[in-house]
Amino acid sequence: MSSWLHLSVELIVGYIYLFIVIKFLGKTQISQITPFDFVSALVLGNLVGDAVYDHETHVGKILFAITIWGGLIYITERLTQKFRKARGVLEGTASLLIKEGKLAWSELKKNRLDVDQLRQLLRAKDVFSMRDVQYAWLESDGTVSVKKKFLQEAPSRTDLQIPEQDECLPVLLISDGEVLEENLQHYQLDKAWLQEQLRLQNIRDAKEVCYAEWTKGQDLFIQTYE
C-alpha cells in the first residue's frame, strides 16, 4: 500500500510543480510555440513520467530536475528577448515561400515542404488559389502568413455591391513536374489542351513546371522551377 501512496505523492507533487514552472515560463498556446518550446515541454513532461516508474527516484530529484530544466528554458528565453541575433538560432526565422507572386522553390525544399502541403497551409488562411498571393511566409511555429495581391484585398464584394456568383475551386493539374491525369479526366480536359496552355506560356514540357492550377473561366496559372 505504501508503494501506491508513494506513487500518488510523486504524481501530485510533479503535477503541481510542473504546472507552476509552465506558468512561470509563460508558455503560449501549442499552435504558437516554436519547435524548441515544443521539445522543452515534452522533456518537462518526461522528467515527471520517467521518475514515476523509477523506484530509485524520489520527489526531491523530480523537483530538482524540473527546476534545472525550467531554469535552462528561462535563460534561453531571456537571451532571445535581449539579443536579437540569438533569436534566429534559438527560435528560427521566417522563410519567404512566395515572393511577388512567384513560388520560391528553393525555400520550399529547404523547409521540406511540397506543393500539396503549401496549398493546405494556404487554405487554412482562406486562400484557395496561389494566384491570389503576393507574399507568403512560413513562420517559425509552422504556420503561414499571407499577404494577398492588391486586387484581392479589401474592400470586399459586399462593400462594392457585386452580385453573388457561383464560385469554382481551383484544380491542381501539375505538381512537382507531374501531370495529375485524374484531375484532367475529372474535369474533361486532356493532355493536348494542357500542352497547348503550356506552349502559350513558352513552356515546352510539364517537367519544367512545379505548380499549375486551373480555374474555370481563367487562364492556366503556372509556376516554374527557379
Q: Are residues 83 and 43 in the same domain?
A: yes
Q: What is the pLDDT of residues 137-152, one digit of tens each?
A: 988 777 899 999 877 7
pLDDT of residue 28: 46
Q: Are residues 30 and 13 in the same domain?
A: yes
Q: Are residues 50 and 118 in the same domain?
A: no
Of 165, 167, 201, 197, nearest to 184 (Cα)? 197
Residue 12 lies in a domain: yes
Q: Are residues 60 and 85 in the same domain?
A: yes
Q: What is the pLDDT of residues 120-176, one digit of tens each?
A: 999 999 899 898 999 999 887 778 999 998 777 767 667 677 777 666 788 999 998
pLDDT of residue 150: 78
CATH code of residue 192:
3.30.240.20
Q: For all residues of the chain together, what is the average pLDDT?
A: 78
Predicted TM-score (pTM) of the model is 0.56
Higher pLDDT, 76 or 51: 76
pLDDT of residue 1: 45
Q: Are residues 84 and 101 in the same domain?
A: no
**Which domain does 202 fall in, by range?**
171-224
Q: Are residues 62 and 113 in the same domain?
A: no
